[in-house]
Amino acid sequence: MEKKLSLKGKNCLITGGSRGLGRALCVDFAKSGANIAFTYSKHDEDAGECREILAQYSEPLVFKGSVADGDHVKDTVKSLMDSWGKIDVLVNNAAINQMLPLALLEENDWDDLMDINLKGCYLYSRAVIRFMIRQKKGHILNVGSFSSERFIESPIHYAGSKSGLRGLTESLALEVGKHNILVNLIAPGILTEGMSTIVPHHRVKEYEEQSAMGRLASTEEITPMARFLVSDKNTFMTGAKIVCDGGL
């Protein structure tokens, strides 16, 4: 099965790759033969750890900066094209969350989250798409959330950003499909790493009780599906939304 989902020789850029699901995607793809570049914004120690892990497979390219910074995005993609000559896969994974009710949600909180979760996806997709069009091939995978697919309590700006990402995925897939570029979205539930560390414990408990599987997923349970979506085995699925939430 691993051979069938090989990413050997693929050049993959993953945003927010220093920890959590982003790191798991970096490691899974690297184990499958891909060349990895990842971005991060703050956590130098985590990024260093991820770099060391990936170096077991091939030397990763690492870029520090915000996905909402247009100049940083352009410089990152230019550097990758100078180093690699092509980008086969973009994974828009970088995201933040804030557990704030609407009554306490300040305008700058809304703007900060939307910039990272939605604008960042737009900026990176725009930056790589012209190169993928020239290549006449490419995969873009956006990491969404079950909160945009299920009627469940979630901060409105987080749910709104992930719902916007769903619409962006569908529209972009339609726009670039004629160039053999496939754009999909994977929407994990609450994972054992990441969101579960900031969601109130009673909410996590409710999630586990309501889901068919009765538990949270590990990041390693999400990565194989992501790998399929960006592999050469996926030749026709585009504009799709794959929800991996344990049957909520």
121, 142 Cβ separation under 8 angstroms: yes
The chain-wide mean pLDDT, for the chain, equals 92
The pLDDT score that the predictor gives to residue 193 is 86
What does the block give as tokens for 104? 């306490």
Asked if residue 118 belongs to a domain, the reply is yes
Mean pLDDT of 147-153: 62
Asked if residue 184 belongs to a domain, the reply is yes
Separation of CA 96 from chain center: 12
**Model confidence band, residue 151 (pLDDT cutoffs 50, 70, 90):** low
The pLDDT score that the predictor gives to residue 1 is 36
Mean pLDDT of 17-27: 97
Give yes or no: 158 in active site: yes
Asked if residue 53 belongs to a domain, the reply is yes
Asked if residue 4 belongs to a domain, the reply is no
Residue 171: which CATH number?
A: 3.40.50.720
What pTM does this model have? 0.94
Q: What is the pLDDT of residues 171-195, one digit of tens each?
A: 999 999 999 999 999 999 889 987 6
Q: Which residues contact 193 (CB under 8 A, 6 or more apart)?
A: 19, 20, 21, 24, 218, 219
Q: Which structural domain range is residue 106 located in?
A: 11-244
| % of the chain with per-residue pLDDT over 90 | 78
* Cα separation, 147 vs 140, whole angstroms: 21
Amino acid (1-letter code) at residue 38? F
Please give the tally of structural domains in the chain. Answer: 1
Asked if residue 106 belongs to a domain, the reply is yes
For residues 196-227, one letter each, b for 16 or more C-beta atoms within 10 angstroms of the residue's C-beta and e for the rest, the string is beebeeebbeebeeebeeeebbebebbbeebb
Asked if residue 3 belongs to a domain, the reply is no
Q: What is the pLDDT of residues 70-128, one digit of tens each?
A: 999 999 999 999 999 999 999 999 998 887 778 888 999 999 999 999 999 999 999 99
Cβ of 49: how many Cβ atoms within 10 Å? Answer: 14
Mean pLDDT of 124-133: 98
Asked if residue 5 belongs to a domain, the reply is no
Mean pLDDT of 8-34: 97
| % of the chain with per-residue pLDDT over 70 | 94
Asked if residue 1 belongs to a domain, the reply is no
**Model confidence band, residue 157 (pLDDT cutoffs 50, 70, 90):** confident
Beta bridge partners of 91: 14, 141
- At residue 37, the 3 state secondary structure works out as strand
Mean pLDDT of 144-160: 75
Given 40, 122, 124, 158, which residue is catalytic?
158
The pLDDT score that the predictor gives to residue 103 is 81
What does the block give as tokens for 136? 């006449």
- Pairing of β 181-188 and β 61-64: unpaired
Amino acid (1-letter code) at residue 81? M
Q: SS3 letters for 74-113?
A: HHHHHHHHHHHCCCCEEEECCCCCCCCCHHHCCHHHHHHH
